[in-house]
């Protein structure tokens, strides 16, 4: 309104001059007044308030995402990938009965051993070994006193002459214990090989602690070769070829727990019923093992007896052996998952690994049931394992004698001797599931060595190897899981991330860092422990229920909700602003033409 009145006013004001201009004033191309700015300002203020409000709206529809430290995750991933976890190891060679040498000569000897070891160890640094980071010290314990090589980090001195006094001709276990008492109080965990220059025949023994000894008559060069082989193949690699654990053969669950589920299966209780006294096995035989593996996994043990559990494939009668033979080819069909209700344990968490150990007692009509190896031999243990699942032993009742047809079968108990035998096989199976061999002889390239076994099922150097390997595997798995989580989270920008996930990721990263630190300091067990924690936390974060559930609030949904309002309104606002702007420009040119005209007329 104002503009209209203004224009009318101005037209009145300009009326005195109007006479002369009337003829060349064209209302289509000229105007006498300045174009008004009110509507333009209005249209633009609406447009700008919309533009300003847009970030607010964006903020309001934003979903909650806990900040995840993507950078740290990526760093960890890169670090684990580029330089595999290496542990420092100390090796020590002690020569007994050799001529005395100077310290320099011993250093040279140590240098040649470590050279040889580098040659034996694989070229590329393998994860979880100490191939890249080890030190060798050499010592001679001779009649004229003890000489040590220089540069012996972490040197722990034992009483000179103590090693010499050990009678290496005695029982292996006694020697082992004596060596342990002489060397074991070293604070650092170092592996020792004692070379004894003696007249007795060649003999190499790997003890159940961290020692080995070689007795025989050989030159220094020979000794160097043997020492370095034992260091590398046994203490470093654990006696098996491939050092690292493959993902699909990892016997520990993602939460760092294992449930050992022992099952006694009576295939047909109509024939005989066997029971066992599992409490005793648990207390006497399994608890030391559980304790020994504490750093690698948190193990719990449970047992049950099941009945009416036939195997799912048939055996054939062999007259020669007087037994039913089950050949290897049918072995995949031995486990009858329909009838063997080896339930998953309720006591275990969701991601624990359950290893089933099954004692199968055949029914009377297939009684002496023997497993046949591919070469036609009969399996000595009458058992087999299935990686990641567990192991099966076929136990035949003594003499396969069935009770007279009284209708009611007698109830028996497996004798303690048999139970012990069964448990030994189970221990061997457990060792195999953990990737360790159960041979009593270590066959090296340069001869064989006797391996002593521990009451705990696992010797200390084997536990070290396991700790190293598991620490490596766990860290690797933790880094991969966190890496996938961070990629997933980054690829779905509208996924809700709970605070708890952020916390778990942080804790996991922290535990991983701790594991790496411990590894670099050579504390194997605590490194394995922290890495287990890191892996379990990473898995917890990845499988957090809030990620699994319907957490994806899509952009399409958001668009569908807001577009019915914002699409038409923004059209109006933008068009209004554009039109006003156009009009203002047009009117301004009109005014300018008139002004120019007036100016020319005036001049």
Partner 1 sequence: MELLRRPIFSLLLLLSLPISFPSISLGSAVQGEDGHREEEFTEELLLKPLPDRKVLAHFHFENTAQRTQSYGRHHHLFPKAISQLVKKFAVREMELSFTQGRWNYESWGGFDPISSSNAKPPGVELWATFDVPPDQVDASWKNLTHSLSGLFCASINFLESSATYSAPEWAFQPASGNLRYGTLPREAVCTENLTPWLKLLPCRDKAGISSLMDRPSIYRGFYHSQRLRLRPAKIIADGADSGIVLEQTLTVVLQPNGFRTKSSHSSENKIPPTWAMSSLLGRKIEGRCVLAKSSNVYLQLERGLVAELNALKENQEFVGTTVLNDDLIENPAFEISVKPDWVLKEVGNLPTGSSSLMYGYSIGKSTDSGPFDLHLTWKSPMVWSCPRPPLHASRFLMGSGNERGAIAISLRSTGLNEGLYGSNKDKESCVLPVNVFQVVPWYIKVYFHTIKVFIDEQRKAVPDVIEKIRVSPSEDKVLPGVMEMVLKLPCGVKSAAMTLEFDKGFLHIDEYPPDANQGFDIPSAIITFPNVEAAMHFNQFSSSDKSPLLSRFREKNPVQSYTEVLLVPLTTPDFSMPYNVITITCTVFALYFGSLLNVLRKRASEEERLLRAKGRSSPLSRLLAKLRRKKEVEPQSSTTSSSLFSSKLVVKIILVAAIAICWQYFG
- Which range, of 62-70, 153-161, 419-427, 490-498, touches partner 1 by CB under 8 A? 419-427
Cβ pair 296, 435 in contact under 8 A: no
The full DSSP string for 381-396 is S-EEEETTTEEEEE-P
Among 170, 328, 443, 592, binds partner 1 (CB under 8 A): 328
- The answer to whether 379 contacts partner 1 (rule: CB under 8 A) is yes
Residue placing its CB nearer to partner 1 in the complex, 170 or 560? 560
Among 187, 407, 549, 603, binds partner 1 (CB under 8 A): 407
Residue placing its CB nearer to partner 1 in the complex, 103 or 312? 312
Residue placing its CB nearer to partner 1 in the complex, 493 or 568? 568
The 8-class DSSP code of residue 36 comes to P
Residue placing its CB nearer to partner 1 in the complex, 63 or 560? 560
As measured in angstroms, the least distance from the Cβ of 375 to partner 1 is: 9
* Interface map 534-563 toward partner 1 (x if CB under 8 A): --------------------------xxx-
Cβ pair 563, 33 in contact under 8 A: no
- The answer to whether 347 contacts partner 1 (rule: CB under 8 A) is yes
Helix ranges (DSSP H) in 374-498: 416-433, 460-491
As measured in angstroms, the least distance from the Cβ of 88 to partner 1 is: 31
Residues 126-155 touching partner 1, rule: CB under 8 A, are none
CA atoms within 13 A of residue 236's CA, in its CB half-sphere: 31
- Binding-site size, partner 1 (CB under 8 A): 87
As measured in angstroms, the least distance from the Cβ of 498 to partner 1 is: 19
- The answer to whether 43 contacts partner 1 (rule: CB under 8 A) is yes
Cβ pair 351, 254 in contact under 8 A: yes
Residue placing its CB nearer to partner 1 in the complex, 10 or 432? 432
- Report helix, strand or coil for 455: coil
As measured in angstroms, the least distance from the Cβ of 151 to partner 1 is: 39
Q: In what order do the strands lie in the sheet with 323-327?
A: 316-318, 323-327, 369-372
- The answer to whether 419 contacts partner 1 (rule: CB under 8 A) is yes
Cβ pair 289, 456 in contact under 8 A: yes
Residue placing its CB nearer to partner 1 in the complex, 30 or 196? 30
Task: Write the Ramachandran bin of 382: left for phi over 0, alpha for psi from -120 to 50, otherwise beta.
Answer: left
Residue 113's closest CA among 222, 234, 240, 235?
A: 222
The token pair at 27 is 């209302």
Q: Quick count: other Cβ atoms within 10 Å of Cβ 587?
A: 16
- Which range, of 10-18, 75-83, 137-145, 274-282, touches partner 1 by CB under 8 A? 274-282
Dihedral sign, CA of 91, 97, 98, 102?
positive
Residue 440's closest CA among 208, 241, 284?
A: 208
As measured in angstroms, the least distance from the Cβ of 62 to partner 1 is: 19
Residue placing its CB nearer to partner 1 in the complex, 39 or 108? 39
Cβ pair 99, 219 in contact under 8 A: no
- Report helix, strand or coil for 131: coil
- The answer to whether 503 contacts partner 1 (rule: CB under 8 A) is no
- The answer to whether 242 contacts partner 1 (rule: CB under 8 A) is no
Residues 577-596 touching partner 1, rule: CB under 8 A, are 579-580
As measured in angstroms, the least distance from the Cβ of 425 to partner 1 is: 6
- Give Cα separations from 381 to 51, 415, 437, 505 (angstroms): 79, 17, 15, 45
- Per-residue exposure over 33-67, b if at least 16 CB sit within 10 Å of its own CB, e if not: bebeeeebeebbebbeebeeeeeeeeeeeeeebbe
Residues 285-304 touching partner 1, rule: CB under 8 A, are 285, 300-304
- The answer to whether 377 contacts partner 1 (rule: CB under 8 A) is yes
- The answer to whether 423 contacts partner 1 (rule: CB under 8 A) is yes
- Which range, of 90-98, 185-193, 373-381, 490-498, touches partner 1 by CB under 8 A? 373-381
- The answer to whether 331 contacts partner 1 (rule: CB under 8 A) is yes
Residues 428-487 touching partner 1, rule: CB under 8 A, are 428-429, 432, 438-440, 451, 453, 455, 457
As measured in angstroms, the least distance from the Cβ of 406 to partner 1 is: 10
Among 11, 165, 174, 416, binds partner 1 (CB under 8 A): 416
The helix (H) or strand (E) run that includes residue 443 is strand 441-444
- Give Cα separations from 403 to 110, 216, 545 (angstroms): 69, 58, 55
Residue placing its CB nearer to partner 1 in the complex, 61 or 328? 328
- The answer to whether 277 contacts partner 1 (rule: CB under 8 A) is yes
As measured in angstroms, the least distance from the Cβ of 277 to partner 1 is: 7
Dihedral sign, CA of 276, 279, 282, 284?
negative
């Amino acid at each position: 309104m104002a503009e209209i009145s203004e224009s009318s006013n101005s037209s009145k004001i300009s009326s005195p001059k109007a006479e002369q201009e009337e003829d060349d004033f064209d209302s289509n191309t000229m105007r006498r007044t300045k174009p008004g700015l009110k509507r333009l300002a209005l249209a633009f203020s609406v447009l700008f308030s919309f533009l300003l409000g847009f970030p607010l709206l964006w903020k309001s529809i934003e979903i909650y995402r806990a900040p995840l430290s993507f950078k740290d995750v990526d760093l960890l991933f890169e670090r684990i990938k580029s330089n595999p976890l290496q542990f420092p190891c100390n090796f020590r060679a002690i020569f007994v009965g050799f001529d005395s040498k100077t310290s320099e000569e011993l250093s040279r000897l140590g240098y040649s051993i470590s050279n040889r070891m580098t040659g034996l160890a694989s070229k590329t640094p393998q994860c979880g070994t100490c191939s890249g980071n080890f030190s060798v010290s050499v010592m001679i314990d001779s009649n004229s006193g003890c000489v040590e090589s220089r540069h012996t980090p972490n040197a722990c001195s034992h009483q000179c002459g103590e090693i010499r006094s050990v009678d290496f001709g005695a029982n292996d276990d006694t020697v082992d214990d004596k060596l342990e008492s002489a060397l074991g109080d070293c604070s650092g965990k170092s592996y020792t090989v004692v070379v004894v220059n003696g007249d007795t025949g060649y003999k190499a023994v790997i003890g159940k602690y961290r020692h080995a000894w070689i007795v025989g008559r050989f030159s220094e060069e020979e000794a160097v070769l043997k020492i370095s082989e034992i260091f590398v193949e046994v203490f470093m690699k654990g006696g098996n070829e491939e050092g690292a654990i493959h993902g699909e053969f990892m016997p520990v669950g993602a939460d760092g727990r294992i449930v050992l589920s022992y099952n006694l299966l009576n295939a047909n209780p109509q024939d005989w019923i066997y029971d066992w006294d599992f409490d005793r096995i648990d207390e006497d035989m399994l608890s030391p093992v559980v304790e020994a593996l504490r750093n690698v996994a948190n193990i719990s043990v449970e047992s049950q007896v099941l009945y009416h559990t036939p195997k799912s494939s048939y055996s054939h009668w062999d007259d020669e052996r007087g037994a039913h033979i089950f050949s290897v080819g049918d072995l995949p069909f031995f486990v009858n998952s329909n009838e063997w209700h080896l339930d998953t344990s309720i006591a275990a968490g969701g991601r624990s690994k359950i290893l089933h150990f099954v004692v199968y007692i055949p029914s009377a009509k297939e009684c002496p049931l023997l497993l046949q190896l591919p070469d036609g031999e009969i399996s000595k243990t009458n058992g087999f394992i299935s990686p990641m699942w567990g192991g099966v032993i076929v136990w035949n009742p003594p003499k396969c004698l069935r009770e007279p047809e009284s209708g009611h079968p007698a109830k028996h108990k497996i004798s303690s001797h048999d139970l012990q035998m069964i448990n030994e096989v189970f221990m061997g199976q457990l060792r195999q599931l953990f990737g360790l061999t159960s041979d009593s002889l270590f066959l090296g390239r340069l001869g064989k060595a006797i391996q002593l076994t521990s009451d705990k099922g696992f010797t200390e150097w084997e536990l070290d190897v396991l700790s190293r390997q598991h620490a490596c595997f766990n860290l690797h798995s933790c880094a991969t899981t966190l890496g996938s989580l961070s990629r997933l989270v980054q690829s779905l920008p509208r996924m809700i991330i709970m605070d708890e996930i952020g916390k778990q990721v942080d804790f996991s990263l922290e535990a991983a860092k701790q594991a790496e630190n411990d590894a670099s300091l050579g504390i194997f067990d605590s490194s394995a422990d922290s890495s287990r924690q890191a892996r379990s936390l990473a898995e917890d974060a990845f499988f957090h229920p809030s990620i699994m559930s319907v957490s994806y609030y899509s952009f399409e949904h958001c668009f569908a909700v807001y577009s019915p309002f914002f699409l038409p309104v923004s059209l109006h606002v933008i068009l209004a602003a554009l039109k006003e702007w156009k009009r203002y420009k047009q009117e301004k040119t009109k005014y300018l033409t008139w002004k120019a005209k007036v100016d020319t007329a005036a001049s």
